[in-house]
Amino acid sequence: MSVDSLSVQQTVARHLLAVQAVRLRPSEPFTWSSGWKSPIYCDNRVTLAHPEVRSFIKNALADAIQQQFPSVEVIAGVATAGIPQGALVADALSLPYCYVRPEPKAHGMGKQIEGHLAVDGPTGRQRVVVIEDLISTGGSSLKVVDALRAAGAEVVGMAAIFTYGFPLADQNFAAKNVPLVCLSNYDTLLTEAQTLNYIPAEALDSLAAWRQNPSEWGK
């Protein structure tokens, strides 16, 4: 599920392009850690260096959570890129905050969840919204959901800055019964990139084809 307001989707897409948090290179594709060739690279941590963009994203995420998950009691960030975004949102909403590692720490207290997460809230299990910066297949994000649920939390949903919109991600989130809200998405980004003359019109077919079959694109 994406944020309903088209203006938010467009504004976030424009911000990501303006600060080069997103780069589009269909003729010189990037290689992801998975080995996939990709015409897009997204690093939303870049937005943290730009106060105006950082504040817009923080407030948009907070608004989306209040609209979609009004029962939220705790914000949890996904390590590592979701940690600062989650902290900003928790502060905006005046809510408790924690962050979750991919795996338990190998030393010290061996924690996977950092910060305090109460087993019980005023109305039972604490209701948590997870903050992620970017959704690709959803695999790593949903591992955080598993960890929170195992710790006794009720995960009511996840909010992210951007999604590639892979069908596999939709399937994965549905299988885990996790509602997902994203501020912007790949389709909106391509529309705004063309409007801003960031990409030529003839590149659109290749960019659209990548999203349909990313593992085979560019081979």
Distances (CA, A) of 165 to 5, 83, 205: 17, 22, 16
pLDDT of residue 120: 67
Per-position DSSP letters for 51-111, written without gaps between them: HHHHHHHHHHHHHHHHHH-TT--EEEEETTTHHHHHHHHHHHHT--EEEE-SS--SSTT--
Q: What is the pLDDT of residues 137-192, one digit of tens each?
A: 999 999 999 999 999 999 999 999 999 999 999 999 999 999 999 999 999 999 99
CA 43 – CA 217 distance, rounded (Å)? 21
Enter the tokens of residue 194. Answer: 């063309």
Report the DSSP pairing between strands 154-163 and 127-135. Answer: parallel
For residues 49-64, average pLDDT: 97
Q: What is the pLDDT of residues 191-204, one digit of tens each?
A: 999 999 988 888 88
Instruction: Quickly count: other Cβ atoms within 10 Å of residue 104's Cβ.
Output: 11
Is residue 105 very low, low, confident or very high in pLDDT (cuts 50, 70, 90)? confident
Contact 192, 13 (CB under 8 A): yes
pLDDT of residue 2: 44
Instruction: Dihedral sign for Cα 17, 48, 83, 33, please.
Output: positive
Q: What is the pLDDT of residues 92-104, one digit of tens each?
A: 999 999 999 988 7
